[in-house]
């Protein structure tokens, strides 16, 4: 067993607590046990209710941490900050009239046949490479939380090459009135498929170039 323990307090608020995290090995699996003591030292208000801590820790450890450690080997994660308001960045990503102006790596153009930004909606488009190769793509939106998050299941590729299937999550984090961080997380069915897409389509560099084109377009908007 391995243990991490640290104090937990809030700036400007009375109270001091202790968080202990135990990592307990069980063959190929690991059990995480989290204990948060000293909650009674915080103010007796609804914001510091025990149920809120329980809900928060359950989501963080039971969902976020579990998802990260189990999927880290089969994902691509790219992030970039933009000097643009959150609403403007959201509009550039969800309005097809804007998307066609920046979508894809350097040298690519895009034709959008359909883009229904709603849960269950279809996003169908063709990316045209600088060498003339066409890359048909079809995605289904799973979550649309304006202006914070988009989740869609993607499928695409080109003739004679392996397909690229993954679930993409685009997060739009407001850092300031005119500053937004965009994070892209793509989770593939397997590590092998993730590695194939990186090798065949240069997906990581392509993603970075796509965000660079978005940055250039936002400056024009």
Domain residue ranges in the chain: 2-72, 73-220
DSSP 131-170: TS-EEEEEEEEEEEETTTEEEEEEEE--TTS--EEEEEEE
pLDDT at residue 160, rounded to an integer: 72
- Top-confidence residue, 160 or 212: 212
Is the distance from CB of 124 to CB of 113 less than 8 angstroms? yes
Q: pTM of this prediction?
A: 0.75
Q: Write out pLDDT tens, residues 172-208.
A: 999 999 999 999 999 999 999 999 999 999 999 999 9
Determine the average pLDDT of the residues in 127-155: 96
What interhelical angle do 191-201 and 203-220 show, nearest 10? 60
For residue 18, the SS3 value is strand
Q: 20: which 2 tokens?
A: 């202990």
Mean pLDDT of the chain: 94
Q: Write out pLDDT tens, residues 3-26.
A: 999 999 999 999 999 999 999 998
pLDDT at residue 164, rounded to an integer: 85
Query: Measuring CA to CA, how many Å separate 112 from each of 48, 77, 126, 168?
Result: 48, 25, 6, 18
Q: In this predicted structure, which of 44-53, 138-147, 160-169, 208-217 has the lowest mean pLDDT? A: 160-169
As a residue count, the chain comes to: 221
Pick the CATH number of 73-220 from 3.40.50.300, 3.90.1640.10, 1.10.260.40, 3.30.530.20: 3.30.530.20
pLDDT at residue 119, rounded to an integer: 97
Rg (CA), the chain: 21
């Amino acid at each position: 067993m391995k243990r991490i323990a640290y104090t937990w307090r809030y700036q400007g608020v009375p109270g001091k607590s202790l968080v202990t995290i135990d990592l307990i090995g069980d063959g190929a699996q690991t059990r995480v046990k989290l204990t948060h003591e000293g909650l009674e030292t915080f103010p007796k208000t609804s914001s510091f209710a025990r149920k809120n801590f329980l809900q928060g820790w359950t989501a963080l450890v039971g969902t976020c941490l579990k998802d990260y450690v189990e999927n880290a080997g089969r994902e691509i994660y790219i992030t970039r900050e933009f000097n643009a308001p959150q609403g403007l960045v959201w509009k550039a990503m969800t309005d097809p009239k804007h998307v066609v102006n920046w979508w894809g790596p350097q040298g690519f153009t895009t034709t959008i046949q359909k883009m229904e930004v709603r849960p269950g909606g279809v996003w169908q488009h063709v990316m045209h490479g600088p060498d003339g190769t066409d890359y048909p793509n079809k995605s289904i939106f799973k979550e649309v939380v304006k202006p914070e998050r988009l989740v869609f299941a993607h499928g695409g590729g080109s003739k004679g090459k392996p397909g690229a299937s993954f679930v993409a999550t685009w997060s739009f984090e407001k850092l300031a009135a005119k500053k937004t961080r965009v994070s892209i997380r793509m989770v593939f069915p397997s590590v092998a498929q993730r590695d194939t897409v990186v090798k065949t389509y240069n997906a990581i560099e392509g993603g970075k170039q796509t965000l660079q084109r978005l940055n250039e377009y936002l400056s024009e908007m």
